[in-house]
Structure 1
């Protein structure tokens, strides 16, 4: 069977990584690239750089990766859908629910594969964590907390930290718990003089009654990507920068020191850091996208899941603006 011909729209910071991984993925070939601003990272190689999506489609492609700024996602996606081209769209799917809905409908009505690049789902630590939660290793899940903070990336200019970074945490939390968000309560701030919020703290309740807590910002000098899942048997800590997963087990040995036992509540047990096979998440994401196009079992983040993440993000922003707890539409 001939390799799938993949086009790449956007040759910026993320585009350069997509170009590399497409070239390294079996069963696909990078057939064309497009960016009206040229090729700053020199990833095109011997490929001509198309000035528009229409020019890229004319090259002859089966699918495309959309790595342009969020504000352009809808226009690019709708053009690809009209041409019958499958698409992997970098997160978030779009800047708002209305445009995201139009993207979903365009692909679904034509029977095309559409996916959103929520790459954390393909991190080895989180993939192992989800499997262990699903198999009952933690027992009942009580809480999921995430911390995602670091310096501001200058390439982001059209959305704030909620829709750019926090959508990662919204997606991975719902995916780990296998439950939708029911309500959120949030606070945001702007500390760096930019147009959009650069810090958010929000709590939430999932439909399965798991409570969540999320700290996300572009204001920290150190980079942190941590997910903590606490349940009746202990707590898992996933570091998605290193791909490490650690389990802190609830202790089974009673302490004879009565005052310490009363203070601790749950006692400390065994701590285990798992040895995981660590594959590059972006490579796994591309393999899953390829499999979806071929009609094979696939773990892609669907367009509807990406749309739900934006719906929750909008509720977070509304909560912060109005100082209210917001119920998620449809929940």
Structure 2
């Protein structure tokens, strides 16, 4: 069975969606939609519409929404009402109320609805999650993430927490298989915009793992690291290069009494794993296709996206109030 796909939004992210959709078996990209036209020249012979209603009328089974976040709700609701399975770029919506309306309508209509937290499909993080599940680190103590880089001119309607930080919130809960219990954050506004461009966030998951997230648009270099520390060592995933490295705790005994009296860990063997490095966006679209066909369920659901947005908003609120917040109530 070949699914007829539409794509709404042909900006920086939309052009990558268009390329990948054309590469996947079982998918035919039959229509594109963008009120601003085709700035990157990706349409080719594919029909291009200016309104989502025109795309729906063209006849589609599924759609990818890559418009600015503020438009996720109206576009998503139109697709849900039309019975179209939908993948919405992250964050799921600009606020919790809009996200809740989207979740409720898609669920009520029995549709497959996913959110584009593409980091879950990064080979390094997929391998990391499997290794944690197999107990390679033993008890997990801490998950740290660093997601830093220059300001992207394409982002205007949300701050760094909902845009970039949502990746770290989602992947942390997914890796640990535990929701957040508390969050505490500090934000900065250094770019003259109404939204934050830097956050330092700490917290604890319900299973006791402590977390730290450093996210900003103020660094002249790009960094995407996830560091998981446990009783047997640490696993470090670089999602730019899709490399995963294991830093094993050493087992040798030292002879220096002053040092050996400290019952900590020592440096051990370092191993970088050889991974099959498939493009995460392609894996994400294949998972969405398979969810529609009912052959597997590995998408990031809209309800999971709602929960991630809830934690992101709690982090922003924590920074405003300068206090730690318990986020166990109100779970999606």
TM-score range, shorter chain: over 0.9
Q: CA deviation at 1:298?
A: 2.5
Q: CA deviation at 1:263?
A: 6.1
Q: CA deviation at 1:151?
A: 0.2
- What are structure 2's unaligned runs of at least 5 residues? none
In the alignment, the residues of structure 1 paired with residue 78 and residue 119 of structure 2 have an alpha-carbon distance, to the nearest angstrom, of 27
In the alignment, the residues of structure 2 paired with residue 258 and residue 5 of structure 1 have an alpha-carbon distance, to the nearest angstrom, of 69
- What are structure 1's unaligned runs of at least 5 residues? none
Output one character per residue of 1:154-192: Cα deviation in whole Å (capped at 9) or x when no partner: 000000000000000000000000000111000001011
Q: CA deviation at 1:42?
A: 0.4
Match of 1:15 in 2: 14
In the alignment, the residues of structure 2 paired with residue 221 and residue 228 of structure 1 have an alpha-carbon distance, to the nearest angstrom, of 21
Alignment of 1:1-331 (within 5 A): 1=1, 3-262=2-261, 265-328=264-327, 329-330=329-330
> Is 1:200–1:216's contact at 8 Å kept on the other side of the alignment?
yes
In the alignment, the residues of structure 2 paired with residue 325 and residue 219 of structure 1 have an alpha-carbon distance, to the nearest angstrom, of 25
> Is 1:261–1:267's contact at 8 Å kept on the other side of the alignment?
no
In the alignment, the residues of structure 2 paired with residue 88 and residue 225 of structure 1 have an alpha-carbon distance, to the nearest angstrom, of 24
Q: Secondary structure at the match of 1:78?
A: helix
Aligned length: 330
Q: CA deviation at 1:330?
A: 3.5
> Is 1:70–1:158's contact at 8 Å kept on the other side of the alignment?
yes
Q: CA deviation at 1:324?
A: 1.1
Q: 1:127 to 1:170 in 2, by over 3 A?
A: same
Root mean square deviation of aligned Cα: 1.0
> Is 2:30–2:47's contact at 8 Å kept on the other side of the alignment?
no
> Is 1:185–1:319's contact at 8 Å kept on the other side of the alignment?
yes
